[in-house]
């Protein structure tokens, strides 16, 4: 496969560049206590489930599972509690996401300076494109309005967001973000993106150059983000030792409005296609399951 050498070089330069210049806004802290909430359902998943994509309207959800020796992506039917499609993927796969409604994007990392975005058909799971990345891809988000994929790329001591044009499947540009960034999510305005840091700080940044407009402290740790269907609430998964919970952030005010419980071993969160249910992927020991919570009272 031919690669865009100039774009690839720009990616590398952006990753090793220093953090964005300018004054960083003050961090707004939160001390919200988690509410009591029990799962509406607990469904078995394939062993060693690692990540999930946004659920589909047909009741399916694509998941990534496996070990360092072998991994696969599977479409799991929430209604029948069974896997209806399974596709083997690279053993270096780290994250999966639904992008632009029609595709699945899989992020991999083979070495500290090499990785890729694998683009699959969102219905059949057929591989369509492979886009080289200069580091491990650990989080993916997309904007349907702009038809762009955003990938969080990791190399030692540096993080960068790389954008890919879905019309050409080529790297568009890149810019550096916080060196401890763990997860990204595009905002209600496609010009705005959220970046979660490992210390629980959420940056609201420009999706074109990474300029920080605001920050808030969602907790002491940060694992992953999920944006509600109406794009009003951002959910921040936080896990410290054996305790996990989820901060509910109002994106218009940058304030934490509630804190939802999350099960021990929670590795990923997503909203249901209807937007009222929260899907928590739990992988603890040799057991993986999908825990479903009704969150309509707490999420706009």
pLDDT in tens, 160-197: 999 999 889 999 999 999 999 999 998 878 899 999 99
Q: How many CB atoms lie within 10 A of CB 9?
A: 12
Which of 247, 224, 237, 143 has the alpha carbon at shortest distance from 188? 143
pLDDT at 196: 96
pLDDT in tens, 203-254: 999 999 999 999 999 888 999 999 887 678 899 999 887 788 999 988 888 8
Residues 250 and 13: their CA atoms lie apart, in Å, by 34
Which of 239, 240, 257 has the alpha carbon at shortest distance from 248? 257
Could you tell me how many residues make up the chain?
A: 300
Most distant CA atoms of the chain, gap in Å: 53
Annotated domain spans of the chain: 5-18+27-294
pLDDT in tens, 41-74: 999 999 999 999 988 888 889 999 999 899 999 9
Q: 34 pLDDT band (50/70/90 cuts)?
A: low
Q: 155 pLDDT band (50/70/90 cuts)?
A: confident
Report the SS3 class of residue 155: strand
Right CATH number for 5-18+27-294 from 2.60.120.10, 3.40.50.2300, 2.130.10.10, 3.40.50.300? Answer: 2.130.10.10
pLDDT at 184: 96
Report the SS3 class of residue 163: strand
Residues 53 and 32: their CA atoms lie apart, in Å, by 28
Residues 87 and 99: their CA atoms lie apart, in Å, by 18
pLDDT at 212: 96
36 pLDDT higher than 80:
yes
B/e letters for 209-226, b = 16+ CB within 10 Å, e = fewer, are: ebebeebbbbbebbbbbb
E strands within 100-242? 103-111, 114-121, 127-133, 136-143, 148-155, 158-165, 170-177, 181-186, 192-197, 201-206, 212-217, 224-227, 233-240
Walk across the sheet containing 170-177 and list its strands.
136-143, 148-155, 158-165, 170-177
Instruction: Decide: 119 and 131 in contact? Cβ < 8 Å.
Output: yes
pLDDT in tens, 128-140: 999 999 899 999 9
Instruction: Decide: 95 and 137 in contact? Cβ < 8 Å.
Output: yes
pLDDT at 281: 95
Q: Which helix (H) or strand (E) covers residue 15, if one does?
A: helix 5-16
pTM (predicted TM-score) = 0.86
């Amino acid at each position: 496969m031919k690669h865009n050498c100039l774009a690839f070089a720009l990616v590398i330069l952006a990753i090793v560049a220093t953090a964005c210049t300018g004054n960083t806004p003050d961090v707004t802290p939160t001390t919200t206590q988690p509410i009591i909430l029990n799962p509406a359902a607990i469904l078995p998943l394939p062993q060693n489930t690692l990540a999930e994509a946004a659920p589909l309207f047909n009741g399916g959800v694509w998941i990534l599972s496996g070990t360092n020796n072998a991994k696969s992506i599977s479409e799991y039917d929430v209604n029948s509690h069974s896997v209806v499609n399974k596709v083997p993927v690279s053993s270096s796969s780290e994250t999966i996401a639904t992008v632009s409604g029609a595709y699945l994007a899989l992020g991999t990392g083979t070495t500290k300076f090499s990785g890729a975005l694998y683009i699959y058909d969102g219905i059949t799971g057929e591989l369509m494109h492979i886009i080289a990345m200069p580091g491990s891809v650990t989080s993916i988000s997309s904007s349907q309005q702009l038809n762009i994929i955003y990938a969080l790329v990791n190399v030692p001591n540096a993080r960068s967001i790389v954008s890919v044009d879905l019309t050409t499947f080529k790297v568009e540009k890149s810019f550096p973000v916080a060196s401890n960034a763990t997860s990204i999510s595009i905002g209600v305005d496609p010009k705005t993106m959220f970046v979660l840091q490992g210390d629980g700080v959420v940056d609201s940044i420009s999706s074109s150059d990474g300029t920080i407009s605001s920050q808030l402290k969602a907790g002491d740790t940060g694992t992953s983000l999920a944006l509600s269907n109406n794009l009003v609430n951002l959910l921040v998964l936080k896990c410290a030792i054996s305790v996990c919970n989820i901060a509910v952030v109002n994106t218009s005010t940058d304030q934490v409005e509630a804190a939802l419980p999350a099960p021990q071993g929670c590795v990923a969160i997503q909203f249901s296609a209807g937007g009222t249910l929260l899907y928590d992927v739990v992988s603890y020991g040799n057991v993986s399951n999908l825990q479903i919570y009704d969150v309509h009272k707490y999420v706009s």
